Structure 1
Amino acid sequence: MERTTCLIAGGGPAGMFLGLMLARAGVEVTVLEKHGDFLRDFRGDTVHPTTLELIDALGLREDFAKLPQRRLNDIQIPIGGRMVPLATLAHIPGRHKYIAMVPQWDLLDLLARAGDVEPAFRLRMNTEVVDLVREGGTVAGVRYRAKDGVTGEIRADLTVACDGRASVLRAAAGLGVRSWATPFDSWWFRIPRHGTDPSGLIPVLSADRMVIMFDRGDYFQCAALIAKGSDPELRARQPVGVIMSGVAAVVPWLADRTGALQSWDEVKLLDVKLDRLDRWYTDGLLCIGDAAHAMSPVGGVGINLAVQDAVATARILGPKLVSHTVTTADLARVQRQRTLPTAVIQGMQRIAHARLIGPAVAGRLNLSNAPQPPTALRIFRRIPVLRSVPVTLVARGVIAERVPDFARRT
């Protein structure tokens, strides 16, 4: 019978950061990741300032700086044929006044290498969690299936579900979830970027759709927003090139890239969800990150929230796991700590869905051909507090969790 102190299901950012921090506390940690590597297209690549501060605190700054990355400092929007500055991160609190765009697989590989140095850390790839193990009504570990078909069980003092918004473990636990309707899904794809193109984040609002373009150096990573559930019908009735032709109609410097997409196979669908568990835990099990609260892609805040969940979990539960004294009340404390920042950000996303995204995908919002910025946008740009609050909340969140001393290497 295999056994560990803390079993973490899912080797995404939350699971890997949590595993590394707990291992540095001396907690025996096993992270199970169902894939054989971290290479997946269009996973969240935004590393926010609070995550950058965590990387610094963990002593990984120099290694992180070697990873391929771009810095997102500014947001511009095309209006009336010109690029209009919308917001900047130059004035947010803290040392890092930018969001780093880093391939997620590079970040996860970095954390895996850092974990390998810790005697208490164990990462098992190609190992999928398939169910919970219970003893007397308490979660006592998980059942797993390896890629080669081998199955087994791992018992643990605590199981932490970091297995995403389609979490197997939260479903197995039967935890109640509250969901909110979302008006859109998104298509993710890449197009070439030229050195003369604008940098930063560029939202394009045309008569057809809204497209968010992220500067990734030699290419733009793009998210085209479509009406909820419309993907099959749109793919069936129109060629893939219509995506770029619509964008180029309002962003003339993209006219030479209308043929950048050759096949619908290059376009990946994200089924957008927004939900939150009523209770993030049961005896022996804690859910964090998307397993506890699936986030909309609006603001790109999902990874940041998940990582901050991991920091709070490590700080609150680390000493308890060392002494093997974790209680259900301790798990409830993690949820209390993280509910407010999650609820605030999800509230902002719901407002954005109703006031911006919904009208945009319905074709009722087209700023790009307007002769000048609308009044609401001009007011937003001229009043400092209106500009700074949303940007700060997106970049730093509501609460920046304190990194536990046992995890620091500075």
Structure 2
Amino acid sequence: MERTTVCVAGGGPAGMMLGLLLARAGIDVTVLEKHKDFLRDFRGDTVHPSTLRLLDELGLGERFARLPARKLDQVRMHLGAHTVVAADLRRIPGRHKHIAMVPQWDFLDLLAGAAAEEPSFTLRMRTAVTGLRTEGGRVTGVTYTDEEGRPGELAAALTVACDGRDSLVREHAGLRQRHFDVPMDVWNIRLPLRPDGAKDGRVFMRAARGQFAVTMDRGDYYQTSYLIRKGTDAELRAQGLERFRDRIGELFGWGPEVTDAIRSWDDVKLLDVTMGRLDRWYRPGLLCIGDSAHTMSPTGGVGVNLAVQDAVAAARILAGPLREGTVCVHDLERVQKRRRLPTAVVQKSQLAEHETLLRPALDGTLDFARLPAGLRLVQRVPFLPHLAGYLGGIGIRPEHAPDFARA
């Protein structure tokens, strides 16, 4: 029987950060990731100031600075001929007054490289968790298939589910999320940069005539998220690709030199948006964090950063009990209590944005004259865009690196 102290299921931002921190605490930790690498398109690529500050504390700031990145210091939205500043990050205290737009695979490679420097860390790629080991109602590890498709078992004092919004570990543990209604799904597309396009990292949202989309300058292409009403993917695809090219071109002012890059529906990737939260994030021997515990809307791009913050809190609270071999349900409950408030606040904010901004935009009833009350107030009170930038970039109850993990 293979054994480890902590088995982390899933090598996303939460899993890799948790693995790194626990390894720096001298705890044996094994991360199981089902894919052969981290190269997947349209993952959360926004690294917020709270995470940038954390990387500095971990001694990884210089490594991160060498990654290809674009900087976003304002959140602006075009409503017809009007521009609305929704948030301004330029007055956030500290060095990092922007959101870094970095391919998630580069971010994960950085964390994996730093963790590999610790002798107690193991990362096993192409190893898919298939179920849970249990004994007397307690989770005692996982079953898996390795890169050759062979079954195996890994015993662990603690198993942590970091396997995302469709968490298999969460399902096998019998934990069920309470789901929230969402008005949209998302089409993700990569489009070539237009030579005269805006490249300052500021203006990236547009709403007009029943359309809403977010686009980000990624250096050599636009990464664009185009919102559609929930459940209308098949209906809209049936209307034809040319109609979609015309609509997105009209929304952003793009001509065929940009939109012709959408050659087939294979270039348009659907994100089936779900949103929910577990009432209880744990059971004996098992903890859920990140999207496994609270599936976030893509609104605001905060999912990656909340997952990282969960991992930091879990490492700080659990490192001592794990070293002593005494980790219990009370310790897991402490992690949820620490992270419950910031999660609830962000999700409540996202739900409000869905109802006051995104649903009206998709219904074609949003315009500058009928801005949501919050956005109207932000336009009128000069310090509010900076407050919005702080809350979006740093958030409620930000986590700092534990002393044992600092450089």
Q: TM-score, normalised by structure 2?
A: 0.95
Post-superposition shift, 1:242? 3.0
* 2:341 alignment partner in structure 1: 340
Q: Which amino acid aligns with 1:312?
A: A
Q: Mind listing any 5+ residue stretches in structure 1 that lack a counterpart?
A: none
Kept in 1: contact 2:159–2:285 (CA 8 A): yes
* Cα distance in structure 1, aligned partners of 2:193 and 2:141: 47
- Counterpart mapping for 1:317-396 below 5 A: 317-366=318-367, 377=375, 379-396=377-394
Post-superposition shift, 1:160? 0.4
* 1:219 alignment partner in structure 2: 221
Q: Which amino acid aligns with 1:113?
A: G
69-78 vs 283-292, which moves further: 69-78
* 1:54 alignment partner in structure 2: 54
Q: Secondary structure at the match of 2:295?
A: coil
* Cα distance in structure 2, aligned partners of 1:60 and 1:374: 40
* Cα distance in structure 1, aligned partners of 2:88 and 2:254: 23
Q: Secondary structure at the match of 2:67?
A: coil
Q: Which amino acid aligns with 1:400?
A: P
Post-superposition shift, 1:195? 5.0
* Cα distance in structure 2, aligned partners of 1:170 and 1:179: 14
1:228 to 227, 230, 241: 230
Task: For residues 70-99 of structure 1, give each alpha carbon's deviation from its aligned partner in whole angstroms, at most 9, with x where no partner exists.
Answer: 111122333444655443210123321100
Task: For residues 85-115 of structure 1, give each alpha carbon's deviation from its aligned partner in whole angstroms, at most 9, with x where no partner exists.
Answer: 4432101233211000001111111111111
Q: Which amino acid aligns with 2:233?
A: D
* 1:168 alignment partner in structure 2: 168
Q: Secondary structure at the match of 2:338?
A: helix
Question: Judging changes above 3 Å, is the alpha-carbon distance between structure 1 residues 374 and 353 closer, same or farther for their aligned structure 2 residues?
Answer: closer
113-122 vs 83-92, which moves further: 83-92
Kept in 2: contact 1:2–1:154 (CA 8 A): yes
* Cα distance in structure 2, aligned partners of 1:355 and 1:84: 15
Post-superposition shift, 1:191? 1.2
Q: Secondary structure at the match of 1:365?
A: coil
- Counterpart mapping for 1:32-181 below 5 A: 32-81=32-81, 85-181=85-181
- The aligned length equals 405
Task: For residues 188-236 of structure 1, give each alpha carbon's deviation from its aligned partner in whole angstroms, at most 9, with x where no partner exists.
Answer: 1111224532232411102131011112122111110001011011112
* Cα distance in structure 2, aligned partners of 1:375 and 1:183: 20
Question: Judging changes above 3 Å, is the alpha-carbon distance between structure 1 residues 81 and 15 closer, same or farther for their aligned structure 2 residues?
Answer: same
Question: Judging changes above 3 Å, is the alpha-carbon distance between structure 1 residues 243 and 142 closer, same or farther for their aligned structure 2 residues?
Answer: same
Percent identical pairs in the alignment equals: 54
Post-superposition shift, 1:365? 2.1
Q: Mind listing any 5+ residue stretches in structure 2 that lack a counterpart?
A: none
Question: Judging changes above 3 Å, is the alpha-carbon distance between structure 1 residues 340 and 377 closer, same or farther for their aligned structure 2 residues?
Answer: closer
Cα RMSD (Å): 1.9
63-72 vs 381-390, which moves further: 381-390
Post-superposition shift, 1:151? 0.6
- Counterpart mapping for 1:215-364 below 5 A: 215-239=217-241, 241-252=242-253, 256-364=257-365
Q: Secondary structure at the match of 1:14?
A: helix
1:401 to 389, 399, 402: 399
